[in-house]
Structure 1
Amino acid sequence: MMGKRIIKLLCAASLMLLAGCANKSVDYSDEVAGLEALPLGAEGRVLKMSHYTPEEVKDIQYALNTRGLYWTAGQTPAYLNSEQCPINVYAHRGHYNYPENSLTSVLMGALGGFDGVEIDVMMTRDGYWVVHHDSISGRATGRRDGKNLRISRVKGKDWNTLVVRDKDGNLTNERAPYAIDVFEQWAKTRLPGQQLNIEIKEDADLVELAQLNRMVVSVLPQGSYFYSSLEFKVLKSMREVNSSVYLGYIWEPDAKSINEVKKVARRAAKSDVLYQKYSRSINWVSDYESRKRSRSKSNKHSAQTVRNALGANSGLHVDIRSFVKASTIYTRSKAAGLARVATYSINGTEYHQSQLQELSRAGRSLPDEVIMDTSKFEFCHRLYPELVSKSSLYQPTTAYGRAIMQLPKDADFTRLEQQRMYLADNHYLTASGKVRLLNSYGLSNASASPETKKTTSQRPEGSLVLIPEDEAFEIEQTSITLEIPN
């Protein structure tokens, strides 16, 4: 059923309206009437993708609308005016609720309230550009026979046997896409102002990059895409090919960031749950260190060097740990004339988010954009909770709408089911994952009374929700050794 709905949404979104699809038999009975004013991609605006009833979808959307938000088909909230948040957010390998680097994740990234989507491209042995992150299949893609393939050695016919895995690691019926598939879809489904960040994983030569660029410009309008790469020479070659496109130079991760991933890898070696959670980072480090063996020195060029080699329409994409350490990196980049400074992290979204919050509290400059495995709303809401308005002009008709209208500005609006339970107990979940008394909203930890602090960490009399004390646990009981190439 979900697969049919995805296909219908692809057809509808590609034409930006409900009429005009070639398949006249498409049934739009899932469309929820009364939501036409919402942005395309809003849940129920084109097709109903969630488990909510039409009445609940409409009530959720109307209630969120009074807060300056809407619920997307990707099952995450988004700002009605995405420009409210001063930082651009790119969906890392597509919408994080869907298989990475898949057509579905790119589609939902376009319709999910992001400023853009980041994908990874590399080449097959016979010269096809494909969308894939790891040098070997198996983690994000796979075959029915279980055989793993080295992407640089496969040919198109072999690539056609790969399908993407879902978020639980199960094989789907969606085939791994060629780059042209993603480019064509992006041209049809992207919203105004959105850009596709095409990260080049390949150490490609001038001819191969020219081929990639010809394919891109033949499909995508100017300004709807840009290139990024960890390989400086690749970007210099791409500048010869395309004199005007933005080029993002990716600084290699901080050494401590890589060491942290290695520590996780040791624990994850005997924990399926941990491996699944951190598999993106673990595989990234393995691939990265394999490539690094061919380099003679650290691959971090200064902002001025980047500006001199790539021109003004270029920028730095920096590990958040490096960004924090180099207190003047933003001002130096701007002084050098670079267009953008972006941050990423191989240590997880929560770490990335927490570091940016610390920078904000310290009055430090924040990046122009971030590459995240979370929605733009979830990222910005923790930095700028005041962007969520508070209005009582709407009278909700369902429990979901009533919960949305009752929640304070700093609440987690992504977990409506849990919020209903907590609100029944006069508590709510904050965007940072804390449990707080509803009537203590606005009180700081310093100003809250001892009784309030005690109540929020224990179970009050007659409580419907058990809020346990924090407890420490150690997942690794015995040490093991995991070797990653140096």
Structure 2
Amino acid sequence: MYSVRIALAIAVFTIFAANATWALPGLPGDALEDRAPEQAALSARGYYLGRFGVIRRLNQPQALGCLNGFEIQSHRGYPTLPENAFSSVVVAFAAKFNAVEVDARQLRDGTWVLNHDESTQRTMLTRSNKTKLRNMDRSDWTQSTLRNRLGQQVNEQAEDLATIASGAFQAQSPGQTLNIELKDNRGINCQDLGQLNETATLFLSAGQVSYSSMNGVKPLACMREHNPEAYLALIQGPSRKALEKWAAANHGEELSKLNGNRRLRAAAQMATEAFGSYKYPSWSSTAKLQELRRTLGGKVGLHVEISDLKADPGLVARAHSAGVKLMTYTLTDNDSHLNDLLALKSRGAMPDGAIVDSTPIKTCKMLGLE
């Protein structure tokens, strides 16, 4: 049953891709034929509609990311599709992000799936009415229906990691990777992470998969044992200032009713529920960056919250000196993230890339790198 489901997923992707693309005069072979008026308008601006309706560069249809080698990863898949979904991962690869970032968790029976939260309440509707991943098995999962990013039910069912990896294999171009964030690894041992790597590399090569974690270097060091070729990134937990900004943006009305220490404790509890903690050790000093490089070896990175990098732009030079790639993420909105990156660019302190919630064309245009 397991292999049949993966074969079916590959067949569906292949049929969809074949039927969705045609050769149009003057346009790449994957241009959509039934969108001629839009193709004409986009062509005049140097773009076209490619597979799955994503906007691509006309003169460089295979180019990844932005100019100057600035790397962009799609956050939980394509920004307009359900997060961590089969469709979202496939379309994000077709859109030519450098990497597609997803979130891996384990079900009760050991099955690896993609979901950001410990609960499915925000992302899907389950037939079994189970919402905690620790109470679900693969049957519960694959009989669930997804919600879009507005919380509305859509006509797509949940798939496990193996099935989604099969779709990624079909859609990936050379140089693209699937960045799997290891979520909540407190109860997961190194053997479990080895199984995760085996699942991810059923179809993808070892170098086509990368791993990231906000839970310290231990799970990443374990992954290095299982996958010597993978890029490994420690996600630097946000500073207290960044968490306070997130709490104000997402829970401002609730917090406004509290004062003093009660407000601080409430914000800390909200941050802990959302991110696992409200205090994180810093890895931004030269000594800690060198330790990170020594511990993980190979290709290694540090991913930091954008407001923390704005407060310490010298981190870019320190990371590069230590041989560590530096990328940013945000706790707030995407446009603010890009505007902050633009400000860093003007100061000569751009990181190597960012995890974003916008399309490659919009992202690169806003950064002046299109």
Q: TM-score, normalised by structure 2?
A: 0.82
Give distance in 2, aligned partners of 1:191 and 1:242: 21
Q: Which amino acid aligns with 1:246?
A: Y
Unaligned runs of 5+ in 1: 1-5, 19-27, 49-53, 271-282, 388-486
* TM-fit CA distance, 1:176: 1.6
Give distance in 1, aligned partners of 2:143 and 2:331: 29
Q: Which amino acid aligns with 1:328?
A: G
Aligned to 2:109: 126
Whose helix fraction is larger, Structure 1's or Structure 2's?
Answer: 2
Query: Which residues of 2 match residues 246-395 of structure 1 at below 5 A?
Result: 246-267=231-252, 285=271, 287-289=273-275, 291-292=276-277, 298-301=280-283, 302-338=288-324, 340-362=325-347, 364-384=348-368, 387=370
Aligned to 1:10: 13
Aligned to 1:34: 24
Deviations 1:385-428 (A, max 9, x none): 6x4xxxxxxxxxxxxxxxxxxxxxxxxxxxxxxxxxxxxxxxxx
Aligned to 2:227: 242
Q: 1:137 and 2:140 equivalent?
A: no
Asked whether the equivalents of residues 242 and 308 of structure 2 are also in contact (C-alpha less than 8 Å), the reply is no
Give distance in 1, aligned partners of 2:23 and 2:223: 47
Give distance in 1, aligned partners of 2:15 and 2:38: 19
* TM-fit CA distance, 1:211: 0.7
Q: 1:97 and 2:100 equivalent?
A: no
* TM-fit CA distance, 1:76: 4.9
* TM-fit CA distance, 1:213: 1.2
Asked whether the equivalents of residues 118 and 196 of structure 1 are also in contact (C-alpha less than 8 Å), the reply is yes
Secondary structure (helix, strand or coil) at the match of 2:237 reads: coil
Deviations 1:213-272 (A, max 9, x none): 1222231123222111112211111122222311011000122221122123335779xx
Judged with a 3 Å threshold, the aligned counterparts in structure 2 of structure 1 residues 75 and 256 are, in CA distance, closer, same or farther, namely farther
Q: Which amino acid aligns with 1:258?
A: L
Give distance in 2, aligned partners of 1:348 and 1:314: 27
Count of aligned positions: 338
Asked whether the equivalents of residues 13 and 188 of structure 1 are also in contact (C-alpha less than 8 Å), the reply is no
Deviations 1:40-83 (A, max 9, x none): 4x4x06xx5xxxxx43133134323xx3x333455553334335
Secondary structure (helix, strand or coil) at the match of 2:201 reads: helix
Judged with a 3 Å threshold, the aligned counterparts in structure 2 of structure 1 residues 264 and 61 are, in CA distance, closer, same or farther, namely closer
Give distance in 2, aligned partners of 1:303 and 1:217: 29
Secondary structure (helix, strand or coil) at the match of 1:292 reads: coil
Judged with a 3 Å threshold, the aligned counterparts in structure 2 of structure 1 residues 163 and 207 are, in CA distance, closer, same or farther, namely same
Q: 1:187 and 2:173 equivalent?
A: no
Aligned to 2:48: 70
Secondary structure (helix, strand or coil) at the match of 1:252 reads: coil
Larger Rg belongs to: 1
Give distance in 1, aligned partners of 2:273 and 2:359: 26
Give distance in 2, aligned partners of 1:288 and 1:342: 21
Unaligned runs of 5+ in 2: 1-8, 256-268
Deviations 1:294-315 (A, max 9, x none): xxx6333321121011014111
* TM-fit CA distance, 1:376: 1.4
Asked whether the equivalents of residues 145 and 157 of structure 2 are also in contact (C-alpha less than 8 Å), the reply is yes
Secondary structure (helix, strand or coil) at the match of 1:218 reads: coil
Secondary structure (helix, strand or coil) at the match of 2:202 reads: helix
Give distance in 2, aligned partners of 1:106 and 1:308: 32
Q: 1:218 and 2:202 equivalent?
A: yes
2:182 to 186, 195, 200: 200
Aligned to 1:448: none
* TM-fit CA distance, 1:316: 0.5
Judged with a 3 Å threshold, the aligned counterparts in structure 2 of structure 1 residues 308 and 154 are, in CA distance, closer, same or farther, namely same
* TM-fit CA distance, 1:9: 7.4
Judged with a 3 Å threshold, the aligned counterparts in structure 2 of structure 1 residues 60 and 192 are, in CA distance, closer, same or farther, namely farther
Judged with a 3 Å threshold, the aligned counterparts in structure 2 of structure 1 residues 228 and 185 are, in CA distance, closer, same or farther, namely same
RMSD across aligned positions (CA): 2.9
Secondary structure (helix, strand or coil) at the match of 1:331 reads: helix
* TM-fit CA distance, 1:373: 0.3
Q: TM-score, normalised by structure 1?
A: 0.64
Q: 1:56 and 2:37 equivalent?
A: yes
Q: Which amino acid aligns with 1:224?
A: Q
Give distance in 2, aligned partners of 1:151 and 1:74: 31
